[in-house]
Structure 1
Amino acid sequence: MLSNSKSLALVLVLVASLGVARAAHGDATWYNPGQGACGATSSSNDLVVALSSSAYAGGAHCFNHITVYYQGKKTDATVVDECPGCKPGDLDLSPGAFSALESLGAGRIQVDWEFA
């Protein structure tokens, strides 16, 4: 019985280390970046993202990278801004990052994302 408990504990540690809890799902829209809440100035071609206020966490994730997944495509983006109007899990991507996943005309897409 003790070996089963140790095996279970090992499995739980391994599952926790996979980072599954860091994955999120939400809507992605696009915006024209400029001076972001992190203090950097970005252009439309830069692969940058604004996180919801809850994910932005007062700037704790400034300049961290995320990977965004959409219908078999993915792109990486750097956190440079906060999106106060976004719901938890939602993202506001630069045109460069959004267009790596879908045409800007789509306007809003459902994505999965995680910190890289």
Structure 2
Amino acid sequence: MTHALPDANAPAAPVISFDDFLKVDIRVGTIVAAHPFPEARNPAWKLEIDFGPAIGIKKSSAQIVEHYSPDTLIGRQVAAVVNFPPRQIGKAMSEVLTVGFPDAAGAVVLFAPDQPVANGARLF
């Protein structure tokens, strides 16, 4: 899934309740496959991410080609929102939103734990 990147100098979003935060289910998973996605409007990879037995393997389209190649993605843990509805991206269905932060040039840098954690672990 793709969305416009927010400006790093923009003010914080409006205040939400903790219950609203808990509605967004962000989990860690391990990338088990990464494929070219030449049909994408913007350069992207098609990812298959293992979120453990409760959630399983989910697909994501990620605009991360500037910093990552398919061979460097396999085995990497990433964070993703797992409770958004699936979204059609070109000819692919993206089931989760893989999250990251923009670098100085606006290219996406993946968000991931700095130590291995269990696939399916939830951000809190």
Do they fold alike, i.e. is TM over 0.5? Answer: no
TM-score normalised over the length of structure 1: 0.29
Structure with max Cα Rg: 1
More helix by share: 1
- RCO higher in structure (CA 8 A, sep ≥6): 1
Give me the TM-score of the superposition, normalised by structure 2: 0.28
